[in-house]
């Protein structure tokens, strides 16, 4: 059957590619050659990349750009960003320069707790279960000490173990809700290892707990896993200035701009259809830095969007206000990131990105990422409430269209010059190219 194969993982890379080419690509030699062109010439470096995941056939490159001139807590940063979308890096850089001239960004860590849970079923007296969990608190800590001792030396470890009753939602369902401090590590493996040991401890200790009857001793653990929802691992980034200081070549009336900007943010606070796109703009900046620094952008995305809906309706992550003649724009983001472990110590580009950021701690990286998200959001809302989003975006997208149609250097010069005075659209670019080629 086309598309079905046994033992694929046991094939070497060449054999995997040949099977894909034969099955799906009609043995297109050019496509196979293209796949191989993306292999790294350094065999050791390629081997490193091959071993990041399973069944690798080649590398998939994304651009690594930089956004300079970020002044964060009175320190200058050039921020690395991995992203494929036109105008994101340019917009972040522009926002950085704008706010550097107005005092820069301020960032504050609000909390750094992370969460993990042991989900289990218990059929018995709730008060006896509560007493049992309280009684074995020291055993949880003792049994996990071999896992936590190094983390404790760095000031981290298990902060609290709490029993949560979820029987109103699912019959007999309870949780051990565990909070952690993982310092400069994202901590996923650490947290999961602790939770699995705690699950073992929970079941073992229940078997000999004198207050339980036979049924109550049979605790059934469903799963033990960290949560990517980290509402107590939060960073705040903000900018502020007197309203009149907002004046620039693009902002002729700072009072009108401030009022319109605040109104746009308020709309995103109450309208989910707008909030999703508004927050996507935030994540353009956040994800780009998360990727560049070797962190898990899927975990960040899931946690951030859950945070945006934490009060029952999906809302804007950022907020703006005008008070006593001051414009203020800020964002609170839940960010569980690390600067040690995982790809941070393996991927060569991640190492360079972290060096570029002056080897930040996890909390410093949280601040930098939040600032990147706020800067990107400011640039987007500023464009929306002044010139419109498409003017800048489509000019950046122009190069992609020209590449798509394999424009020559001469054609590029003429097309770029034309669109200095005209609105860029895909159809307009194609039409001009066709005219030039006649």
Q: Is 94 inside a domain boundary? A: yes
Domain stops at, among 210, 227, 244? 227
Last residue of a domain, one of 206, 227, 248: 227
Domain with 403, as residue range(s), is 392-437
Domain containing residue 96: CATH number: 3.90.770.10
Instruction: Please tell me whether residues 243 and 350 are part of one structural domain.
Output: yes
The number of folded domains in the chain is: 4
Which residue is listed with tokens 């550097």? Answer: 100
Report the catalytic residues: 85, 280, 296, 393
Tell which of 227, 252, 285 closes a domain: 227
* Judgement on whether residues 268 and 374 belong to the same structural domain of the protein: yes
Say whether both 238 and 362 belong to one domain. yes
Same domain, 200 and 131: yes
Compute CA distances 32 → 9, 17, 48, 354, 404, whole Å: 19, 7, 21, 34, 21
- Structure pTM? 0.88
pLDDT tens for each residue of 296-333: 999 999 999 999 999 999 999 999 999 999 999 999 99
- Per residue in 356-370, pLDDT (tens digit) is 999 999 999 999 999
Q: Is 39 within the bounds of a domain? A: yes
CATH number at residue 197: 3.30.70.420
* 174 and 245 share one domain: no
**Same-domain pairing of 256 and 371:** yes
**Would you say residue 3 lies in a domain?**
no
* Cα-based distances in Å from 98 to 95, 258, 286, 318, 354: 5, 15, 19, 18, 24
Same domain, 78 and 166: no
Paired tokens of 91: 């917009």
Q: Is residue 2 in a domain? A: no
Distance of CA 28 to the CA centre of its chain: 37
Kindly state whether residue 241 falls inside one of the protein's structural domains. yes
| 243-269 residue pLDDT tens | 999 999 999 999 999 999 999 999 999
What values do phi and psi take at 291, rounded to 5? -65, -45
Neighbour order of strands in the sheet with 106-109: 106-109, 234-242, 326-334, 318-323
pLDDT tens track for 119-159: 999 999 999 999 999 999 999 999 999 999 999 999 999 99
Using a 10 angstrom Cβ sphere, with 0-12 exposed, 13-18 middle and 19 or more buried, the burial of residue 252 is: exposed
Instruction: Looking at the structure, tell me whether residues 202 and 181 fall in a common domain.
Output: yes
Residue 361 and residue 242 share a domain: yes
- Do 263 and 209 lie in one domain? The reply is no
Same domain for 346 and 270? yes
List per-residue pLDDT tens for the chain, 438 residues long: 576 899 999 999 999 999 999 889 887 888 899 999 999 999 999 999 999 999 999 999 999 999 999 999 999 999 999 999 988 999 999 999 999 999 999 999 999 999 999 999 999 999 999 999 999 999 999 999 999 999 999 999 999 999 999 999 999 999 999 999 999 998 999 999 999 999 999 999 999 999 999 999 999 999 999 999 999 999 999 999 999 999 999 999 999 999 999 999 999 999 999 999 999 999 999 999 999 999 999 999 999 999 999 999 999 999 999 999 999 999 999 999 999 988 888 899 999 999 999 999 999 999 999 999 999 999 999 999 987 655 555 666 787 788 888 888 888 888 888 887 777 888 888 888 888 888
């Amino acid at each position: 059957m086309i598309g079905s194969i046994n033992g694929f993982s046991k094939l070497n890379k060449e054999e995997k590619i040949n099977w894909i080419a034969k099955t799906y690509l009609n043995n297109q030699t050019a496509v196979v050659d293209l796949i191989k062109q993306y292999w790294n010439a350094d065999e050791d470096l390629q081997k490193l990349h091959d071993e990041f995941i399973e069944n690798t056939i080649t590398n998939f490159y994304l651009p690594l750009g930089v956004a300079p001139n970020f002044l964060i807590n009175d320190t200058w940063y050039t921020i690395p960003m991995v992203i494929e979308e036109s105008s994101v890096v340019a917009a972040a850089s522009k926002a950085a320069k704008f706010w550097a001239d107005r005092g820069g960004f301020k960032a504050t860590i609000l909390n750094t707790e992370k969460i993990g849970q042991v989900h289990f079923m218990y059929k018995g007296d709730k008060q006896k279960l509560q007493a049992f969990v309280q009684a074995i608190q020291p055993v949880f800590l003792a049994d996990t000490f071999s896992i936590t001792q190094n983390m404790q030396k760095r000031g981290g470890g298990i902060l609290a173990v709490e029993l949560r009753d979820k029987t109103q939602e699912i019959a007999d369902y309870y949780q051990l809700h565990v909070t952690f401090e993982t310092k400069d590590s994202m901590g996923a493996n650490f947290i999961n290892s602790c939770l699995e040991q705690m699950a073992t401890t929970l079941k073992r200790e229940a078997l000999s707990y004198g207050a339980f009857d036979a049924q109550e001793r049979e605790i059934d653990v469903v799963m033990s896993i960290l949560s990517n929802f980290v509402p107590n691992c939060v960073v705040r980034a903000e900018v502020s200035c007197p309203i009149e200081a907002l004046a620039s070549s693009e902002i002729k009336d700072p009072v009108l701009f401030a009022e319109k900007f605040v109104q746009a943010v308020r709309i995103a606070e109450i309208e989910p259809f707008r909030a999703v796109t508004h927050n996507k703009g935030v994540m353009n900046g956040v994800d780009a830095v998360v990727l560049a620094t070797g962190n898990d952008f899927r975990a960040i995305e899931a946690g951030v969007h859950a945070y945006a809906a934490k009060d029952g309706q999906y809302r804007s992550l950022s907020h703006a206000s005008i008070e006593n003649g001051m414009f203020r724009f800020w964002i609170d983001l839940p960010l569980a990131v690390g600067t040690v472990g995982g790809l941070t110590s393996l991927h060569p580009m991640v190492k360079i990105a972290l060096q570029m950021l002056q080897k930040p701690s996890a909390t410093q990286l949280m601040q930098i990422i939040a600032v990147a998200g706020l800067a990107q959001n400011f640039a987007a809302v500023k464009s929306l409430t002044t010139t419109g989003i498409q003017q800048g975006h489509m000019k950046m997208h122009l190069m992609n269209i020209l590449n798509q149609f394999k424009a020559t250097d001469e054609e590029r010069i003429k097309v770029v010059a034309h669109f200095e005075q005209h609105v860029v659209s895909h159809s307009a670019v194609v039409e001009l190219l066709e005219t030039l080629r006649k």
